[in-house]
Structure formats: C-alpha cells, structure tokens
Amino acid sequence: MTALAAVAIGVVSLQWVVLLVIAAVAIAGALVVVLHRSPVVGAMGLVTNLLCVAGIYVLLNAYFFAALQVIIYAGAVVVLITFVIMLLNLRPEARGGPGLVPIGLAVLLGLALIVVLGRPLLEFSAPTAEAVAPEFGSVRQVGEALFTEYFYPFLAVSLALLSAMVGAVLLAKRHLED
Amino acid sequence: MDLFLVVATIVKVALVVVVVISAVPVLTWVERRGSAFMQLRLGPNRVGPLGLLQPLADGIKFMFKEDIVPPFVYRPFYVAAPAIAFVAALLAFAVIPFGGTLMIDGREIPLVILDLDVGVLFLLAASGMGVFGIILAGWASNNKYSMLGGLRSSAQMISYELSLGLALVSVLIYAGTLRPTEIVEQQIGGTWNVFPLFVGFVILLVSAFAETNRLPFDLPEAETELVAGYHTEYSSMKFSMFFMAEYINMITGSALVTTLFLGGYALPFQRSVFEGWLGLEGNLLAVLQLASFTLKVGFFMWLYVWVRWTLPRFRFDQLMRLGWKILIPLALVHVVWASLLVMWGVPA
C-alpha cells in the first residue's frame, strides 16, 4: 500500500516499483535454484529468474531481447535441462548437506565476488527507457550489428556451436558401438 | 493514455477471450460429430438440436466431478501445471490480428490486441511456455505413464520447434518484418505468401500439428501405450483445462498459419474485387474481413479433425526421423529459397 501511495504522489515512478518487484522475484528464483534439493524445482526456479530478466528488458523497451530471452533461455534451454533431469531420473539431493568448511569457503568467496563486482555496479548508473534511443535493441539494429561490426565473432560462435554439436554426436555414437 | 483506448482494449481482450474459450465446446462437438461422420456413425445427437448442447452438458459434468488429487504428487506443480498450459495457450493469441481497423466515433480501432513489432516472436515465446505445463504435469503426477508422456512431449516440442522456427524465418525474411499486421497488409497488397512459399506453409502446418500434440503426433498422450500420458492423474476441471489448452493451441496454430500464409484477415481479391469493384470500405469491410479470418481458421480447425480421424499415430522413431531428417533440412533449403526470392526482388 505504501508503494502505491508513493506512486500516487509521484515520489517514485511506476517503473521503479515494477522493477523492484521483478528484481525481488528474480532473486527468489535464483535462491530456489541454489538452495532447493529437487533438481526439477531448481529448474523451475531458473525459469522464474529468466522470465524476470525478460521483464527487465521489457521495462527498457527492448522487446526483441525480451522475446529472445524467453524463447531461447526460458524456453529451449530450460526445457532441455528439465528433459535431461527427467531422463536421468535425478532424485532429490540426499539429506546431510556440505560440512562447515565448504559452507564457510562459499560464503567467503561470495563476499569476495560482491566486493569485486560491487564497486563498478555502484558507479554504474542504470539506463532508463528514456535515456536509450528508441531504436535500441530493435530487430534491425541487432541484425545490422551482427552482420557488419560483429560478423567474424558471430561466425566464430556458430562454428564453436557446430563443433560442440558434432562432438556430442561423436561421443554418443562411440558409446553406442561399445 | 486516454480512457477510450483503455476501454477499447479491455473490450477487445474480453471479446477474444470469450470467443476463443467458447469456441472450444463447439470444436469438441465438431470433432465428435465429424469423427462419427467419417466412421459412418451418428455421434452425440441427443442433447439439443443435432446434439449441439452436448458440449454444454459435458462442461457442467466436468465442473461437478470430484477433483481428485492423488497422494504422493508434488502439489505445487501438480496444481500449477494445468493453469500454466491454459494461460500460455490464451496468451499466444494476443498478437494475432483478426480483422482490419474498425471506425467507432471517428477513432480507429485496430482489431488486434497487441500490435507488437516482434509479434511473431511473442507468439513463439508464449507457446513455448506452454510446454512447461505438460512437462510439469508429467513430473508432478508421480506416475510413470505421466512421466513418459511429459518426456515425450518435451522431446517432440524441442524437435518440431526447430522446423517451425525455420519455416517462420523464411516467411519473416520474405516479408522483412516481424509485425503480424504488416505481414497481413503486405499480402493484401500483393499475393498471399502460400504461393511463393508453399513448402514453408506445409512445414509450418505439420510442425503445428506436432506442437499441439494432435494426431498423428499425439504420442505424449497415446492411449494405447500411456493410458492418457501427462494428464493421466488429472480429473475434473484440471483435466478440462489441459483439454481446453489443447484446443486453444489448435486455434492459435490455425490463426498463425492463416496470418502468415493465407493473408490473415484479407479477403480473396480484396483490392480488385471488394475495394475496387464493389467499393467497400470502413466498418463493412472490417466485418467482412473478420468473417474471412474466421472462415480460414475454421478450415484449419476442420483439417485438424479431418487428419486426426484419417491418419494413424506415428511411432516415436518415425516422429523423430520426420522431424530431424526430413523437415529440418527441407526447412533450411526453404530459408535459402526465401532469401533468393528476396534477392530477386520478388516481394513488392
């Protein structure tokens, strides 16, 4: 209610409130990925997180990126992940988590990461939808960038994906012949 | 944003939701009577004239059936799965233009809910989310048949989404835009895309059958092998929601094929006959276009029924072979064909 009131008197924009809600859900989803014992629930947490990122793209008026985010990451990639989880019939993680030393190390490394990333993040001012050009992230702009400025990196990525695919097929075949 | 726009949008959304949802019972009637017609039976003909009230009776029955939640299911996902499938199916229809522009009180109202410049991608994204409904239902039911149904479904969706996507790419290359309304307007100005891109039309149609889990690709719910596949453990309205989601997906698939290849809401020979010779314009034209769109979608819905009661089910390896070894290479070649057409300057 306080948030609504704040919007009504114009202290914060509606966009800010929406962003905060989306960010909170995204973090919750990420926590589920890490903390939940069942891999399928974790995968659904990942979907939630990825959908929230798509929502942030929409807030920046980058509809194309949002659509790609949902189709490729939330759609194809996570469907594949769930498929593999179900195919391997992964059981929820057994009771008795990691000991104190690994947890301590994880906390330490996490804090280190926050410190390293924190400074640039604090100095970085997030672009608002008004600040970026209306053309930003449009299909035309992305396509032009891909096929002119980033043509060779784009080709290299395609080749890398192709070799990964060929490698996967090869590994599967070898396994079959045994 | 002014009040007029808000009200117009709400009315449009409400109308589309009501029409699409209430089309489902009609379609089940068509399906049952149609199958009976093909098998020299009568089908349900007792409730109401021609049995037309049968779906209503079925709907009431669904609502009053006991809602059984089996023990040992993973409850959050078990409950969420039908809702996800249903909502995703409805959402995908939002970008389909179902008519031209209506003039009310001197204001133009485009007959599409969401006129996005990435509309085609929105549809793909929304229908892609629907897969999770099926997968989660299969997993959360804690039943091996459900699980196998969910697994089959995800494998099938991944495989056929590729050929579906490639067929879409060829249309998008040809049209040079991702906005459904623009694709339709281009077809009104020129020829319908089905003529230059016939192969893409066939690929999209076949993939749409696979994506909606309809025969001959209904392996996720193959009765003879998996009881009922992913919705084995569902009853009452929860089952009904899966059922409705399937039919709504069929409607959206038909609408997508219509929009991309058969001119969407365009009337045949619209420019020369209807606008030129008969001199139609404004609201009358828009209403005729709406009727034209409905008829085209209706044809594809009949095609779904027709095919279901004509072809037997594929085996799973046959399904995979068709998807990966025939449709995807064909679709790739077709993308090159569409690019060549653009290079030769065929699209106006």
Instruction: Kindly list the structural domains of chain A, giving each domain's residue range(s) and its CATH number in brackets, ordered by start.
Output: 1-91+124-133 (1.20.120.1200)
CA–CA min distance A68, chain B (Å): 8
Question: Is residue B173 a part of any domain in this protein?
Answer: yes
Best mutation target, B135, B152, B328, B332, to test chain A (most A CBs within 10 A): B135
- The helix-helix angle for B119-140 and B75-92 (nearest 10°) equals 160
Q: Of all residues in chain B, what percent are helix, strand and coil, respectively (each to 5)?
A: 70, 0, 25
* Beta-carbon contacts of residue B242 (< 8 Å; ≥ 6 apart): B82, B85, B86, B133, B134, B137, B230, B231, B234
The average pLDDT across A51-73 equals: 86
Give which of B259, B289, B282 is closest to B102, Cα–Cα.
B282
Torsion of CA B108, B114, B119, B125, to 10 degrees: -170
pLDDT exceeds cutoff 60 at A100: yes
CB contact (8 A) between residue B132 and residue A138: no
pLDDT at site A25: 93
A86 CB neighbours in chain B (<8 A) are: 135, 138-139, 147, 150-151, 154
- Residue B221, pLDDT above cutoff 80: no
B155 to chain A: which residues are within 8 Å by CB? 83
Query: Tell me: the pLDDT tens digits for A17-33?
Result: 888 899 999 999 999 88
Rounded Cα–Cα distance for residues B342 and B348 (Å):
9
The C-alpha atoms of residue B251 and residue B273 are separated, in whole angstroms, by 29
- pLDDT higher than threshold 70 for residue A4: no
**B102 strand-pairing partners:** B109
Q: How confident is the model at residue B335 (pLDDT cuts 50, 70, 90)?
A: very high
Would you call B93 exposed, middle or buried from its count of C-beta atoms within 10 A (0-12, 13-18, 19+)? Answer: buried
A-chain residues within 8 Å CB-CB of B74?
Answer: 38, 41
Mean pLDDT for the stretch of residues B87-91 = 88
pLDDT of B333 strictly over 90: yes
Instruction: Please report whether residue B5 resides in a domain.
Output: no
Q: Nearest by CB to A40, which of B139, B151, B157?
A: B139
Interchain proximity B150–A76, CB inside 8 Å: no
> What domain count does chain B have?
1
Residue B282 domain flag = yes
Structural domain includes residue B61 = no
* Residue-range definition of the domain harbouring residue B96: 67-343
Task: Please state, in angstroms and rounded to a whole number, the distance separating the CA atoms of residues B348 and B330.
Answer: 25
Q: What is the reported pTM?
A: 0.83
Residue with more model confidence, B91 or A124: B91
User: CA torsion sign, A67 to A72 to A76 to A79?
Assistant: negative
Mean pLDDT value of segment B80-87 = 89
Tell me if B147 sits within 8 A of B72, measured CB to CB. Answer: no
Q: ipTM beyond 0.90?
A: no
Residue-wise DSSP of B265-319: TPPTTIIIIIIIIS---HHHHHHHHHHHHHHHHHHHHHHHHHHHTTSPPPPHHHH
pLDDT (0 to 100) of residue A125: 66
Domain annotation covers residue B8: no
The answer to whether B67 and B234 are in contact (CB under 8 A) is: no
Which residues in chain A are contacts of B157 at CB distance < 8 A? 79
3-state SS, residue B79: helix
- The minimum CA-CA distance between B134 and chain A, rounded to whole Å, is 11
Lowest mean pLDDT among A149-153, B51-55, B121-125, B205-209: B51-55
Q: Do B122 and A67 touch (CB under 8 A)?
A: yes
Give the mean model confidence (pLDDT) for residues B36-62. 84
In-domain check, residue B1: no
Tell me whether residue B41 is in a domain: no
Bridging pattern class, strands B101-104 and B107-110: antiparallel
Q: B139 in a domain, yes or no?
A: yes
Q: Is the pLDDT of residue A174 over 80?
A: no
pLDDT score, position A152: 92
Q: Smallest CA–CA separation between A138 and chain B, in Å?
A: 9
Segment holding A101, helix H or strand E: helix A100-123
- In percent, the amount of chain B with pLDDT more than 90 equals 5
Question: For residue A3, what pLDDT is reported?
Answer: 56
pLDDT at position B101 over 90: no
pLDDT digits (tens, 9 = 90+) for B156-206: 888 888 888 899 999 988 888 888 888 888 888 878 888 888 898 999 999
How far apart are the CA of B192 and the nearest CA of chain A, in angstroms?
24
A140 CA: distance to closest CA in chain B (Å):
9
Helix (H, G, I), strand (E, B) or coil at B109: strand
* pLDDT given for residue A108 in this prediction: 92
Q: Which residue numbers of A have CB closer than 8 Å to B's CBs? A: 38, 40-41, 44, 47, 63-64, 67-68, 70-71, 74-76, 79-80, 82-83, 86-87, 138-139
Q: What is the mean pLDDT of residues B109-126?
A: 84
The pLDDT of residue A133 is 66
For the segment B251-273, what is each residue's pLDDT rounded down to a tens digit? 998 999 999 888 878 877 777 77
Q: What average pLDDT does this structure show over B286-299?
A: 87
